[in-house]
Structure 1
Amino acid sequence: MARKPRASQTFNIVVVGQHGRLSYEALLFAASLRHTNPDFKGRLLIAEPQAGPLWNNDPSIRDPDVRAAYDFLGAEVIPFENKYFGSAYPYGNKIEMLQALPKGEPFVFFDTDTLITGDLAAVPFDFNRPTASLRRENTWPIPQLYGPGYTGLWKSLYDKFGLDFESSLDLSQPDEYWRRYLYFNAGFFFYRCPHEFGEKFLDYALAIQDTPPVELCCQSFDPWLDQVALPLVIHALGGGRDTLPEGLIDGSISCHYRFLPLLYARESDLAVQVLETVAAPNKLKKVLKGHEAIKRMVFQGRGAKVRALFDQDNLPRKEQAIRNRIKSEGFWMR
């Protein structure tokens, strides 16, 4: 019996854009989305933090050419205010901006340093069961010699918020091995309502920051606070690590490249092709040249030199080793 075609879903996509590098990354993101998904029916939103007492400098996007390019690509700039985070913790933008999005409308958040490389209609988002990126390293927590291990550290957080710890575990992984515990990179996440997700994300993040469990007394939350709170939010909302098929987001459909030198060093030929294709039209090229890393990496060939340093099928296991090699050749930019 033939399978029924899956009904197409309408949802909003949001990235955070602000003055400087992120404003140009948001432009590349928008261009890649329009290139690979010309029939995307949802809204593309660029959440923009506004100047205020929590910022040392005005974070808003002040370049009129960048803003005009967003408009050309059909991206809407949505302003939001920082009431809790700002210069001291800019990663908090992805928490606070959620309240500025349309209430009750499904959304997918992507970090700005992402390219859309394939058809988003192929991704079976279940907006009732959120998840986030599993492309991560064991960055948090760092168990101390005489302190609690991974189980004690993570369980203290689940207990703090009245969540069931045992059901969050991946029992195929050994006890006290970091992959056993629910942990994500916050490079993407999704849910049925940004306000519902954002309220819980903010409540958990502030509670962890202000009144952490005693077990976490030796742990750092900077810059990891969003990634500490995120798995708790996802677990509380009925999501988990297995709500999307592998190989789509952070695979054939999207590429979270972090910095352009890392994109050229380790990402797929498809990601490089999409980047260089969407940056090429003169209307965008003139604007993108305003950022030094894009100008040198994409338009002046430095990216190709970085790519030639590595065998993409046999990369160093740790990202830091890749960074060090690029820096030793004098090619690192951000």
Structure 2
Amino acid sequence: MTKGLVTVFGGSGFIGRYAARELVKKGWRVRVACRHVNTAGDVRLAGPPGWVDIIQANIRNRESIERALEGADAVVNLVGIMFEKGAQTFESAQSEGAGLLAQVAAEKGIARFVQVSAIGADADSSADYARTKAEAEAAVRDAISTATILRPSIVFASEDEFFNRFAAMATSPLMSVLPLLPAIGGGSTRFQPVYAGDVAEAIAVSVDDAATAGKTYELGGPRIYTFNELYDVILETIDKRRFKIPLPFFIAKPAGYLTAAVWRYIPPFSWGFLGDPPLTGDQVEMLKSDNVVADDALTLKDLGVTELETVEAIVPSYLWRFRDYGEFHKASEA
């Protein structure tokens, strides 16, 4: 017997795959709503046959949202972007999309709504990502006062876009010639990385437990690191010697905006053949502020998620592929 049906928007993405598994474990059927259903086939493996379904939907399109929410008892919104591309702008994908989704959910009488935001969400932020995350929170709460908001720090697991990105950068052909990694703003920005499985558990608890209604939680792992310390973790794991060179914000920011423009408007960059842009001006702007759980915030502990995975325990399990000989690599002597 199931507890009901949860529609997870953005469920085919990184965190969505973990969230689907946790929701099924708690007895919920899951409907994964995503733009491209061909990218979500493996999400069905999150549960037994019939427990996980996939539906095409676009958070910018009311009719598709209505179809995706038909018969749903709860909604989880995981839709978010790290850079703009085509019709996917921060406003349309994050603030406007979340507002429309919550509005349709409210019209259908759905009171259990979990909005996954981010630490640093701030309506007054000069970073478009952080500003639209805050606008999304406000729009969701305006439509559904009982919505639960979760704000994770950077999320890590085998599919992450943080540790994998910088490990790839550290092992690029250019590094054999110029072994320098940019420490933006001196590399002193602090982060509190949280494991995707722990975030997924927080999502499942928020759907399951009515006591979380109307509350905001900040999700961080067991340890705080500076950007430079995370570089050190990566380099030690992949057994590479690289030098961190301080890159001031006033240099990194315009370079980031230029990179973002190239990746957004100029083929073949805009076609996606070359992956995501290495850095955008908006991301540089966000690095000016620490990304850690506030002292007075409700946390994972308040959600009953207490046995947190560490960077040191998880990251080596997938960054080994960046070593010279992969899992058979023998660490060099100091």
Shorter-chain TM-score: which interval?
Answer: 0.3 to 0.5
Q: Which has the higher contact order (CA 8 A, sep 6+)?
A: 1
Structure with more strand by fraction:
2
